[in-house]
Amino acid sequence: MANIYDNAYALEKAIRESDEFQGLQQAYDAVMNDEQAKQMFDNFRNTQVELQQKQMQGEEISEEEVEQARKVVETVQQHEQISKLMEEEQRLNQVINDVSRIITKPLEELYGTDQEGQQ
Amino acid sequence: MANIYDNAYALEKAIRESDEFQGLQQAYDAVMNDEQAKQMFDNFRNTQVELQQKQMQGEEISEEEVEQARKVVETVQQHEQISKLMEEEQRLNQVINDVSRIITKPLEELYGTDQEGQQ
Ligand SMILES: [Ca+2]
Ligand SMILES: [Ca+2]
């Protein structure tokens, strides 16, 4: 039991000290310390969250909203610091997804075996 | 980089060898090796998944279905081996949730700090 938590804290430390996390932090700070970039990025995130919420709640998304979202994405993709931040986010996300797959493997094996045998 | 993966595999091993996972495995095997318990448990899980899917797709759930689900839950709760399995699942879930909170802390801090400063 303690062993799980010890290992989880060691992993947290490894993530925090990784090139991926450090790179993300730098890219994030660069955007946050540039008022114009920050506003652009906040606007992008807000637009994304809004559309996701509508989608999840089954609300209709108008053509105008889709077009508006497309423009926002285009704008941030052309911004060097913001696209760097988005790259770094994807890079760390990949690592976190890998980690998640690794540590849930025992559970997957336990339930997966049964599903196979269930037929 | 390698360090993250080394730590993730160490954590996976710790989970696999933990009392929580071993207990879950035993409870699971006990149910799966008892044909009647297995059918009851499968029925319970299928009912749950069905209702969740309907809910997520915004479909209406009839009173009859709610009543049927309630009965299925009642039945499995009275089954010693199945309720043991459900307890063990909750116990391991708690650990996995803790682990997840620990390892996503760096990210939470990174984005959380900004949200505070954003106002
Ligand atoms: Ca089986
Ligand atoms: Ca800030």
Query: What does the block give as tokens for B30?
Result: 């006990």
**Interval A79-109: pLDDT, tens:** 999 999 999 999 999 999 999 999 999 999 9
- Supply the angle between the helices B19-32 and A105-118 in degrees, to the nearest 10: 0
ipTM for the assembly: 0.80
**Res B3: pLDDT:** 93
Q: In which band, very low, low, confident or very high, does the pLDDT at B113 lie, cut at 50, 70 and 90?
A: low
**Res B118: pLDDT:** 44
Which chain B residues in 44-103 lie under 8 Å from chain A, judged by CB atoms? 58, 92, 95-96, 98-99, 102-103
**Res B56: pLDDT:** 86
Which residues touch B89 (CB under 8 Å, ≥6 apart)?
Answer: B24
Q: B71 or A1, which is more confident?
A: B71
Determine whether the interchain pair B110/A24 forms a contact, defined as Cβ–Cβ distance below 8 Å.
yes
Could you give the angle at the alpha carbon of B90 between the alpha carbons of B86 and B94, nearest 5°?
170
**Res B58: pLDDT:** 86
**Res A112: pLDDT:** 80
**Res A58: pLDDT:** 86
- From A114's Cα to the closest Cα of chain B, the distance in A is 8
Q: Report d(CA B34, CA B95) in Å as an integer.
A: 27
Query: What does the block give as tokens for B55?
Result: 């809910």
Q: Report d(CA A14, CA A96) in Å as an integer.
A: 12
Query: What does the block give as tokens for B118?
Result: 């954003």
Distances (CA, A) of B90 to A83, B23, B86: 41, 11, 6
Q: Does position B117 have pLDDT exceeding 70, yes or no?
A: no
Share of chain B above pLDDT 70, in %: 92
CB proximity B114 to A under 8 Å: yes
Q: Does position B20 have pLDDT exceeding 90, yes or no?
A: yes
Q: In which band, very low, low, confident or very high, does the pLDDT at A36 lie, cut at 50, 70 and 90?
A: very high
Least CB-CB distance to A8: which of B3, B99, B106?
B99
In terms of CATH, what superfamily is A2-118? YheA/YmcA-like (1.20.1500.10)
Which residues in chain B touch residue A11, judged by CB atoms under 8 angstroms apart?
A: 4, 7-8, 10-11, 102-103
Q: Does position A114 have pLDDT exceeding 60, yes or no?
A: no
**Interval A54-87: pLDDT, tens:** 988 888 889 999 999 999 999 999 999 999 999 9
Which residues in chain B touch residue A117, judged by CB atoms under 8 angstroms apart?
A: 32
Which residues in chain A touch residue B116, judged by CB atoms under 8 angstroms apart?
A: none
* Closest-CA residue of chain B to A91: B1
Which residues touch B88 (CB under 8 Å, ≥6 apart)?
Answer: B20, B23, B24, B26, B27, B28
